[in-house]
Structure 1
Amino acid sequence: MSLLQKLDSKKKQPQGKKKDRRNLWFEKGMAIVASANLFLVVFDLSYIPLRDFWLQRKIQVFSFKIGPIVSKGFPVPIPIPNITPFYDPIKGIEPYRDTDQYLEKVVQLQNHLIEPGLRSKEVAGILEDLRRRSGEMINTNPFLVANKTGTMEKIKNKMRQHVTTSEDSAKESFMQFWSGGNLSKNPVEELNFFNKEIRPLIETNYFRPIGENGEFVDLFGLIDFPFFILFGIEFLGRTWSLGRRHTGVSWLDAMLWRWYDLFLLIPICRWLRIIPVIIRLDQSKLIDLSAIQKQIRQGFVAEIAGDMTQVIVIRVINEAQDSIRRGEIANWLSQRDARPYIDLNNTDEVATLTKIGVQLTVYKVLPEIRGDVEALLKHHLEKILKQSQVYQGLEQVPGVGELRNQLTENLVKQITQTIYDGVNMAIEEDTVGEELFQRLIKHLMEAYGSQLQAKQTLEDVQSLITDFLEEVKVNYVERLSEEDLEEILDQTRAIGQIKST
């Protein structure tokens, strides 16, 4: 490599790193934007069910009912701004005219109690109007449009508990509550009850008009449209880039490459955007999901590994049994000469592998273990001699023991040397010997094939192999599903830890 090429390669490396860094920052930015869009989607989907909370901005703690024990608890205010005036128009929410006028009448009543007083004609007219409106509210249930019939029931129950009547009727309780006789006892306390217990429930009611599409008016699409434009441009840009960088990738293939981004462009089922958001956060390295992915894969393997293994192995065994029953062994034996064998490299791989194994044993392995072989032969030779009566008699002659050791060692060395030399001579290059060896193998296979073609022998072999495969299925394959796969996964994880360390 020339000096100019080295300098050029050094210049390319930092540029590649800078490009990867820019791409990572871009991925992080788009992941944050997608997360913000998902947050808006979740907020929009939860706004209607949680509108009472956003309106009142408080939660009721220690409120429960266990048998006869009832605890109303107490409200805890949450220091957050009131967003309902800004977001109600997005969802098409408007004040419900009847309940809104009902609360305005209560405000007028409070003002007239101060001046001119409870006995004035204005107060009497307001109370009459409130009694009429209370009856209409119970009869028509204006909370039905907002799907808050349960709130209407809470209002009636609270009023019945506060004002007891002979008929135990919510309508009669409202009539008595908005009477001059009831308010004259303690008007401040009665109005405080209404403002604390009843007004917050009535304030939660709203009206939501129906659009031309038959659905409730919802303008969230106006908020989501800028994100749609941004994600659409990004999707087209990524598709063009993938098609340009990878050969043979069509426009459709490039779109399906990042299929999960399509959820960002679909205006229905917006909650599915959690899929591309999680993937983008992981790809941009803002979060690490490798541990979760690993657990998901292992759980998936644990669920299907046993069934898949059992089905596959049984299928293979069944195919083998069917092949044997169809007589394919006999067909193979009868057509072995007629069927040509395709040799790809003009080499007999079986003979070559056998030759390599023998050469490795003779030239490399036997010299290493020759001392051990001689010691083993010497031990057995001495053991045989000790059992001989002639040798036991010669043991009494002085000097024979030393002679015996020398003779034994020489005999063992001669035996091992003779065997070693014989094996060396057998594997030396010998064209005639190789031809004789090949002819021996050929005649051996022919002899086995001709004998196996005998009808009785072939039937016995087929029957035995089929029965053996059936026993394998019963005794081993069906036990695979009973195997403790969690233990296998633990062993797999332990092996992975050993490899990593």
Structure 2
Amino acid sequence: MSLQKYSSPKLLKRRKNLWFERFMAIAAVTNLALVTFDLTYVPWRNFWLQGGIGIPLTNFKLHIPVPTIACRDRSVETGQPSRTIQQPVVTCLYDPIKGIEPHRDTQAYLDTVAQLESQLAQKGLEAGLKDIAVQDTLAKLRKLSTEMIETNPFGASGKSGALERIKNRIRSRVASRTNTRISAREAFNIFWSTDNPSYPNYLSPTTWNAEIDWFNQAIQPLIQTNYYRGVDENGNPTNHFWLLDAPFILLFFLEFLARTYHISRRYSNLTWLDAMIWRWYDIPLFIPFSLIAPTWALLRVLPTTLRLHQAEMINLENIQSRAREGFVSAIASEMVEVIIVQVINQAQGSIQRGELTNFLQRTTSRRYVDVNNINEIEAIATHMTHMMVHEVFPKIQPDLEALVRHSIETVMNQSPAYRGLQAIPGIGAVPAQITETLVHDVTQLIHNSLKTALDDPKTADLVVRFVRNFSSSFIQEAQQNNLQEMQSLLTDLLEEIKINYVQNLSEEDITLILDETRQLRQEAT
């Protein structure tokens, strides 16, 4: 029996639906994470490139190890043999998606520095620093440094701040050794020289290792942050993210069609379009925002959150409850005011149009619609009367007799003659017996009379004629005495109620009312 319980078709279907909901929820979370990563990749590229987060205005930098892989160097000119360089795995894989490649000028600068290190490693420091090829490389670095300062290749990528930091650091480094204040251009000329007239032997066998280590730690990472990013035919920065987003868009679009079709088939009063409107919040999942407005893809937060809730992976009941209360508190006051004012205005208009008298006659300006050819007021009165006589009266008759008996005895006990009669031996109990019989006979007579009257068709006709004559007489007298003054007074009364009620309603704190309502609901449960 237990096995049947857990393997019932209904439960299996529910589990299958839950697993499908969770799969789609995970797909939505994955897509949202990918969208967020894409939007933040360019601003955070320095982190993925160097694995470090620096705190502004301080020298502190948190280093996080980022794995590297052999990546093809896309800065190499076409026609030259390709080469591979070690690069962080994230930038190696995602730079092509954003159309990013190393900037030709800054990459040439770093390649020249690497060439200089290779030359000195091959020839040795003593002989290498005097070698003509090394001197040519140093001269090239001085020229490239001047061009870098003058042309600012960092501007196109929005990294001009990196160039300013490079200039400040090189000035500070050279000034710490020369004890002079110089420009960044002069500082680079001194840094990449062995026989500068202002400071000979800046680079020497004894200083080379310290200077090149400082350069690789302080300057090279800043130069590496620069990049070149192409533009598409519309003049926008290259972005191939749609290639990654397209499979998710196709998945969610097909799922949207299948889900809404299933809903329309399940509920016969819903069309396919109605079902699509019902699931409107899924639409951002398959709109190709990456092609039109990439930042709008963050709208997928809403359907993703709802899918996680539907898949029972998170619980939004409390949030939904608070959101509903906030919505109610925001519009409740205005809504109630509008409804009350509209009802009172309608009542005032009806009274001013004389519909009060017409209602009594059932001859209003609009034809009175009777849905069942029955006078409901007379039928309700007859039903209530029969219930009181045949059902209620027999049940309350003992209590009624006790009440009448007590009343009679109270009145008779105040009589001296009655008290004297009770004192006579042998007949003292007779008055009480007479009272008991009288009370019973009177109540029974009343009950029988009412039953007889109700069962008598003539009595019913007389009652109906009485009610009709009473209504017609009241209406005639009302018309003869003119209800204008009464209508005016009723209109003024409703106006006062409207003003005072709306004012009091505006002074009410809706939040406190909602809190009180919530407490009452908790007490009831």
Is the contact made by 1:159 and 1:173 (CA closer than 8 Å) also made in structure 2? yes
By relative contact order (CA 8 Å, sep 6+), the higher-ranking structure is: 1
Q: How many residues align?
A: 479
Equivalent positions of 1:260-339 (< 5 A) are 260-268=281-289, 269-329=296-356, 336=363
Preserved contact between residue 210 and residue 216 of structure 1 (Cα < 8 Å)? yes
Once residues 337 and 38 of structure 1 are traced to their aligned partners in structure 2, the CA distance between those partners, rounded to angstroms, is 63
One of 31, 41, 46 as aligned partner of 1:37? 31
| Distance in 2 separating the partners of 1:493 and 1:166 | 75
Instruction: Name whichever of 247-256 and 307-316 sits farther off.
Output: 247-256
Deviation at 1:397, TM superposition (A): 5.5
Structure 2 residue matching 1:453: 3-state secondary structure: helix
Give per-residue Cα distances to partners, 1:382-410, cap 9 Å, x unaligned: 55456x57469859966698666556555
1:94 equivalenced with 2:101 (yes/no): yes
Q: 2:355 touches 2:364 (CA, 8 Å); kept in 1? A: no
Match of 1:6 in 2: none
Q: In the alignment, is residue 85 of structure 1 matched against residue 72 of structure 2?
A: no
Residue of structure 2 equivalent to 1:213: 234
Coordinate RMSD, CA, aligned? 3.7
Residue identity opposite 2:62 in structure 1: P
2:44 paired residue number: 50
Q: Paired residue for 1:4?
A: none
- Which digits, 9 at most, give the CA deviation of each residue in 1:434-470, with x for residues without a partner? 2211122212222222233246x41222122212212
TM, length-normalised to structure 2? 0.77
Quick check: 1:107 aligned with 2:114?
yes
Contact 1:333 1:453 in 2 (8 A): no
C-alpha separation between the residues in 1 aligned to 2:266 and 2:233? 46
Tell me which of 455, 475, 482 is aligned to 2:500. Answer: 475
Query: Contact (CA 8 Å) 2:357, 2:475: kept in 1 or not?
Result: no
Inter-partner Cα distance in structure 1 for 2:364 and 2:152: 95
CA deviation vs aligned residue, 1:411-450 (integer Å, no higher than 9, x gap)? 5445544443443344x22221122111222122222222
Amino acid at match of 2:64: P
Q: How does 1:1-400 map to 2 (within 5 A)?
A: 18-60=12-54, 63=55, 71-78=58-65, 82=88, 83-111=90-118, 114-115=124-125, 116-118=127-129, 120-164=131-175, 169-178=183-192, 180=194, 181=199, 182-184=202-204, 186-238=207-259, 241=262, 247=268, 250=271, 252-253=273-274, 255-268=276-289, 269-329=296-356, 336=363, 341-385=368-412, 388=414, 390=416, 394=420
Q: 1:315 Cα shift?
A: 1.6
My pick for the range that moved more, 439-448 or 204-213, is 439-448
Asked if the contact 1:95/1:207 (under 8 Å) is kept, the reply is yes
Aligned-residue sequence identity (percent) comes to 43
Q: What is the deviation of 1:80? A: 5.2
Q: Distance in 2 between matches of 1:322 and 1:153?
A: 78
User: Does the aligned pair in 2 maintain the 1:57–1:77 contact within 8 Å?
Assistant: yes
Shifted more, 395-404 versus 108-117: the winner is 395-404
- Show the counterpart of 1:446: 472
5+ residue gaps, structure 2, are: 69-87, 290-295
Quick check: 308-317 or 80-89, which moved more?
80-89
User: Which shows bigger deviation, 261-270 or 235-244?
Assistant: 235-244
3-state DSSP class of the match of 2:229?
A: coil
For 1:171 and 1:440, the matched residues in 2 are separated by 117
Contact 2:101 2:228 in 1 (8 A): yes
Helix, strand or coil at the partner of 1:90: coil
Q: Distance in 1 between matches of 2:391 and 2:261?
A: 61
Q: Distance in 2 between matches of 1:307 and 1:55?
A: 56
The SS at the match of 1:75 is strand
Q: Residues 32 and 298 of structure 2 are in contact (CA less than 8 Å); yes or no, is this contact kept in structure 1?
A: yes
Could you say if the C-alpha distance between residues 490 and 362 of structure 1 is closer, same or farther in structure 2, counting changes exceeding 3 Å?
farther
Cα pair 2:422 2:429 within 8 Å, conserved: no
- Give 5+ residue unaligned stretches, structure 1: 1-9, 66-70
SS in 2 for 1:207: strand
